[in-house]
Amino acid sequence: MSEPAPSVATPEQERAQERSDDPEPDAEPTAEPVTTGAQSVIRALENVGVEYAFGVQGGAIMPVYDALYDSDIRHVTMAHEQGASHAADAYGIVSGEPGICLATSGPGATNLVTGLADADMDSDPVVALTGQVPTEMVGNDAFQETDTTGVTTPITKANTFSSDPDTVGDDVGEAFALANTGRPGPTLVDLPKDVTLDDTEHEPGEARVPDTYDVQERADPEVVRAAARRIESADRPLFLLGGGVIKGDASAECREFATDHEIPVATTMPAIGAFPEDHELSMEMAGMHGTGYANMAITHCDTLIAVGTRFDDRLTGGIETFAPDAEVIHVDIDPAEISKNIHAEYPLVGDAATVVDQLSAEVEESPRAKKWRAQCQQWKSEYPMAYDTPEDEPVKPQFVVEAVDEATSDRAIVTTGVGQHQMWACQYWTYTEPRTWVSSHGLGTMGYGFPAAIGARLAAEDDQEVICVEGDGSFLMTMQELAVAVRENLDITVVVLNNEYIGMVRQWQDAFFEGRHSASEYGWCPEFDKLAEAFGARGFRIDDYDEVADTVEAALDYDGPSVIDAHVDPQANVYPMVPSGGDNGQFALTEDQL
Amino acid sequence: MTQGLEGPRPEERPRPEGRRNAQGIRIDPEVEAEPAVRRTVISALVTHEPGVLSDVSGLFSRRQFNIESLTVGPTEDEERARITLVIEEHEPGIEQAKKQLRKLVPVISVRELEPDAMRRELMLIKVSATRPDRVAAVTEMYDGKTVDATPETATIQVTGSRQKVEAAVEAFSQFGIREISRTGTTALARGDDRTAAREESPVEYEADGTPTTPQTTHSDDD
Ligand SMILES: Cc1ncc(C[n+]2csc(CCOP(=O)(O)OP(=O)(O)O)c2C)c(N)n1
Ligand SMILES: [Mg+2]
């Protein structure tokens, strides 16, 4: 047990108080002055309003944890540092403020790597603070030494090795500012133990990005004008919203623009929720498992207004056949995304909300696209996302997703693992609000869902349900975090779409490897409901259609973590599907079309 | 059949006429051609701090940019270093390389140098000294300097453009080359022109949105 925090002033402080002729003895108590590097680290976090941190203790990070002991920042001890990184990531997505994760040196830091790579791919704001061996031992292969900045350079937006107790707090403030300025992303500060232990009186200054870092907010007005003329004269305009719309809080601006000018809207997966999916103009998600109508619209549009997307290959399919008739208006805060994968005729570098407003102000008349809108509606009826529910077959996973959606509010938050269940959670849940969809897009990290639900829960409002749609395989990767959810009594409902398969792999094997199920069949699976009970959570099980509604209701009613082990059709497949590198317009609706 | 969805089959759907090339640029399929690759010099002013060089080299290898040489050294300002890169890429690749480089936090400014920029490299070449007179003649021909001589070997320093250095290697090869060490190209813009200034001008675009960049190939000067 470490020394308890002094709640009363030491005799020395009392003497100092007596000597001072403070005119306002009743004034707000100001924070204790910083005395060590570690305290400066925690002060920097407090200064920027951090409320939660997720992590695991260990040798090299102990001084930081010791300083955290006196802080109002609430620390959530996770079962595994990977869990800490995903929880921080989801916290960042839901709250819009960087999520904080802490780990010790060596294995603690390497366990964060998956979560940092995930955050980097999805541009999620995360700050990682890692312990490091004392400076003088660095380079000697000391106990639990890993070159953490070396390992994480390619998967962070920026990282730094702190070498001075006087500036370590400023390093942390800068990492926080960088994580959330311009295009967000993960940052890391490596904290050698001597630096955090050493004395300093230096209070960290204002958290700010370095002078070398600048962000362009407004797009070139001349290009805006040219793009506006293009939109006005478009016959087949389409909005494509990307994750940047959510990150840049531009959903309202995009919504207004699209509805004012009656332009249909497709989204990428990270942008789910940026435009209400129940709106007439919504084509929903495009790409590999996007709707048939979204992919038809992308393939046939003549003007693509793409906002905050990096044109990932899961969206574009083969580049040659992506929106091949379209002139592209590309809005992005990161100039390096412009014309990286898809050439932009109208490059608009800037903040999504600002640039969409610029465009809005410039577009004088709506495009005459009545015929196009009718065509989009026709595609919606030609390619419905319908499925059968024969009584003599196991429960369809799509049915379970729809049932949970129906039983929850519009603002419910969904987190997922990676696989078929993730795609059904995209396709069969109707999202209407930004920051309610929390998933691993670019990296496709199995195991993301449950720790993400913990971070999402702590960032969400009390009246927002947090639902974690999991696969049996994905849940097994990080389900030990149930211990944390139980300890913290977090109200999370896990829905395991249990097909006793690593189903997405099985689907690909059936389609592309002659049905040879190499290492994709379990043949055995733990009973997740009982496992949940063993952790101290509530466990439920679904085997039949008539159990679905009541079980979902009971699990949602329980105020704490619960797990529904939903045994679903192991043969169900995800469609539509554009095979890797394929033509979006040629999506397959059945296996024989692949 | 519970597997899959209803709707027109792929072959029943209308297909668009256009196409893009591998760089994502819309093209006329009839006249499709691979974009030309060119060699160019990129100069980056960076903060002089540990890790910048590995950030830059890591970026180039991770993104598979075709890099011919990379040099780094101090500048007139002790807090700044200059990195000079020679890369060989098609036009979109060069644009990407510049933008990705600019994104690194310690990078202050990035500039692609004009074809007439001054480019130099230094080579140390060690050859067998069996024919000292001939070695001296070749050394003189390439404005070289003998920096070490023993009964067995002569080491000559040659500076100049990449072409000149390569021609020198060719000329010295008749004596039997023992070892070569080359610095790679370093460069500065000519005259009043700043190579990579503190305040760089943003990428300029034509009204239709295409960035205006020098299209000419660098002709090595000397
Ligand atoms: C960490 C990680 N390892 C492997 C994969 C490859 N992979 C993608 S989907 C998948 C199967 C996922 O199984 P499950 O979680 O049960 O989901 P299902 O597809 O059955 O719904 C696998 C192994 C991955 N995405 N992430
Ligand atoms: Mg599964």
Are A454 and A485 in contact, with CB atoms under 8 Å apart?
A: yes
Identify whether A61 is part of a domain. yes
Residue/partner pairs of B21-24 with CB below 8 Å, 24 or more apart: B21/A319, B21/A320, B22/A319, B22/A320, B23/A319, B23/A343, B23/B90, B23/B92, B24/A311, B24/A319, B24/A322, B24/A339, B24/A340, B24/A341, B24/A342, B24/A343, B24/B92
The dihedrals phi and psi of A267, each to the nearest 5 degrees, come to -130, 160
The Cα–Cα gap between A450 and A467 comes to 9
State both tokens at A504.
């997405």
The Cα–Cα gap between A376 and A300 comes to 10
Do A375 and A408 have their domain in common? no
Asked if A504 is an active-site residue, the reply is yes
Q: Cβ separation of A586 and B19 shorter than 8 Å?
A: no
Asked if A371 is an active-site residue, the reply is no
- B5 contacts on A by Cβ (under 8 Å): 292, 383-387, 575-576, 589-590
Residue of B nearest to A149 (CA): B51
Residue type, A174: E
Do A50 and A148 have their domain in common? yes
Identify whether A236 is part of a domain. yes
Average pLDDT along chain B: 88
Residue of A nearest to B110 (CA): A212
The dihedrals phi and psi of A524, each to the nearest 5 degrees, come to -155, 145
Q: What CATH number is attached to the domain comprising A329?
A: 3.40.50.1220
Residue/partner pairs of B48-51 with CB below 8 Å, 24 or more apart: B48/B74, B48/B78, B48/B79, B48/B80, B48/B81, B49/B106, B50/A161, B51/A149, B51/A153, B51/A161, B51/B106
Residue A371, SS3 per DSSP:
helix
The Cα–Cα gap between A235 and A242 comes to 22
Q: Read off the pLDDT of residues A265-280 as tens digits, 9 standing for 90 and up.
A: 999 999 999 999 999 9
| Domain end (from A358, A382, A406) | A382
Do A499 and A529 have their domain in common? yes
Q: Tell me: pLDDT of B168 over 90.
A: yes
The Cα-based distances of B167 to A268, B117, B170 in angstroms read: 53, 20, 5
Q: What DSSP element (H or E) covers B70?
A: strand B67-74
| DSSP bridge pairs for B112 | B42
* pLDDT reported for residue A18: 47
* pLDDT reported for residue B205: 47
Do A490 and A412 have their domain in common? yes
Domain boundaries, chain B: 37-112, 118-187
Please give the interface size between A and B, counted as residue pairs whose CB atoms are below 8 Å apart: 151
Are A92 and A98 in contact, with CB atoms under 8 Å apart?
A: yes
State both tokens at A483.
């211990």
Asked if A285 is an active-site residue, the reply is no
DSSP string, A532-560: HHHHTSEEEEE-SHHHHHHHHHHHHHSSS
Q: Cβ separation of A320 and B19 shorter than 8 Å?
A: yes
CA A520 to ligand 1 center in whole angstroms: 9
| DSSP bridge pairs for A330 | A306, A347
- A300 contacts on B by Cβ (under 8 Å): 14, 16
Ligand 1: lining residues by beta carbon, under 6 Å: A 417-421, 444-447, 471-474, 497, 499, 501-505
The Cα–Cα gap between A584 and A589 comes to 12
Q: Tell me: pLDDT of A481 over 90.
A: yes
Q: Tell me: pLDDT of A460 over 90.
A: yes
Domain B37-112 shares a fold with domain B118-187? yes
- C-alpha angle A296-A299-A305 in degrees, rounded to nearest 5: 105
Residue of A nearest to B21 (CA): A320
* Mean pLDDT, range B119-147, rounded to an integer: 96
**Burial letters for B75-98: b for 16+ Cβ neighbours within 10 Å, e otherwise?**
eeeeebbbbbbbbebbbbbbbbbb
* Mean pLDDT, range A138-167, rounded to an integer: 97
Residue type, B13: R
3-state secondary structure A251-282: HHHHHHHHHHCCCCEEECCCCCCCCCCCCCCE
**C-alpha dihedral over A239, A245, A248, A252, to 10 degrees?**
70
Look at phi and psi of residue B177 and say left if phi exceeds 0, alpha if psi is from -120 to 50, else beta.
beta
Least reliable range by pLDDT among A24-38, A139-153, A396-410, A505-519: A24-38
Q: Read off the pLDDT of residues B25-56 as tens digits, 9 standing for 90 and up.
A: 998 877 767 788 999 999 999 999 888 999 99
The CATH number that domain B37-112 falls under is: 3.30.70.260
Do A305 and A438 have their domain in common? no
Are A306 and A194 in contact, with CB atoms under 8 Å apart?
A: no
Do A138 and A173 have their domain in common? yes
A472 CA closest ligand 1 atom index: 16
Query: Pairing state of beta strands B19-20 and B26-27?
Result: antiparallel
Least reliable range by pLDDT among A292-296, A327-331, B130-134: B130-134
DSSP B75: -
- B108 contacts on A by Cβ (under 8 Å): 212
Do A447 and A515 have their domain in common? yes
Of A463, A469, A470, which Cα lies nearest the Cα of A410? A463
Q: Read off the pLDDT of residues A100-128 as tens digits, 9 standing for 90 and up.
A: 999 999 999 999 999 999 999 999 999 99
The CATH number that domain B118-187 falls under is: 3.30.70.1150
* Mean pLDDT, range A8-35, rounded to an integer: 56
Range of the domain at A178: 32-197
Of the pLDDT bands very low, low, confident and very high (cuts 50, 70, 90), residue B101 is very high
| Cβ-based neighbours of A230, under 8 Å, separated by 6 or more | A303, A327, A329, A345, A346
The Cα–Cα gap between A479 and A471 comes to 11
Catalytic residue among A32, A143, A201, A378: A143
* pLDDT reported for residue A10: 45
Query: Pairing state of beta strands B67-74 and B107-112?
Result: unpaired
State both tokens at A203.
């209070």
Choose, out of B3, B54, B64, B101, the residue to mutate when testing the contact with A (most A CBs < 10 Å).
Answer: B3
The Cα–Cα gap between B115 and B93 comes to 18
Picking from A320, A382, A572, the nearest residue to B7 by CB comes out as A382
CA A421 to ligand 1 center in whole angstroms: 9
Least reliable range by pLDDT among A399-403, A573-577, B76-80: B76-80
* Mean pLDDT, range B134-160, rounded to an integer: 97
User: For tokens 């099980």, what's the residue?
Assistant: A541
| Domain end (from A322, A355, A382) | A382
* pLDDT reported for residue B46: 95
* pLDDT reported for residue B29: 72
Instruction: Extract the runs of DSSP E, i.e. beta strands, from A399-554.
Output: 413-416, 437-438, 466-471, 493-498, 538-542
Asked if A393 is an active-site residue, the reply is no
- Overall number of domains in chain A: 3
Asked if A81 is an active-site residue, the reply is yes
State yes or no: cis peptide before A6, omega within 30 of 0: no
Do A95 and A234 have their domain in common? no
Identify whether A470 is part of a domain. yes
Q: Tell me: pLDDT of A216 over 60.
A: yes
* pLDDT reported for residue B215: 42
| Cβ-based neighbours of B132, under 8 Å, separated by 6 or more | B149, B154
What distance lies between CA A474 and its chain's CA centroid? 16
Choose, out of A319, A334, A382, the residue to mutate when testing the contact with B (most B CBs < 10 Å).
Answer: A319
Least reliable range by pLDDT among A179-183, B5-9, B197-201: B197-201
| DSSP bridge pairs for A192 | A132
Residue of A nearest to B98 (CA): A336
Q: Cβ separation of B24 and A396 shorter than 8 Å?
A: no
* pLDDT reported for residue A246: 98
* pLDDT reported for residue B190: 92
The Cα–Cα gap between A511 and A570 comes to 15
| Cβ-based neighbours of B68, under 8 Å, separated by 6 or more | B39, B86, B87, B88, B184, B185
Q: What CATH number is attached to the domain comprising A147?
A: 3.40.50.970
| DSSP bridge pairs for B46 | B81, B107
Identify whether A368 is part of a domain. yes
User: For tokens 């960035």, what's the residue?
Assistant: B211
Look at phi and psi of residue A469 and say left if phi exceeds 0, alpha if psi is from -120 to 50, else beta.
beta
* pLDDT reported for residue B217: 44
Identify whether A147 is part of a domain. yes
Of A343, A362, A365, which Cα lies nearest the Cα of A219? A362
The Cα-based distances of B101 to A323, B48, B65 in angstroms read: 29, 15, 11
Q: Which of A502, A521, A524 to mutate to test the pocket of ligand 1 (most atoms within 8 A of CB)?
A: A502
Q: Tell me: pLDDT of B58 over 80.
A: yes
Of A466, A453, A481, which Cα lies nearest the Cα of A90? A453
CA A519 to ligand 2 center in whole angstroms: 12
3-state secondary structure A36-101: EHHHHHHHHHHHCCCCEEEECCCHHHHHHHHHHCCCCCEEEECCCHHHHHHHHHHHHHHHCCCEEE
Q: Tell me: pLDDT of A328 over 50.
A: yes
Residue B64, SS3 per DSSP:
coil
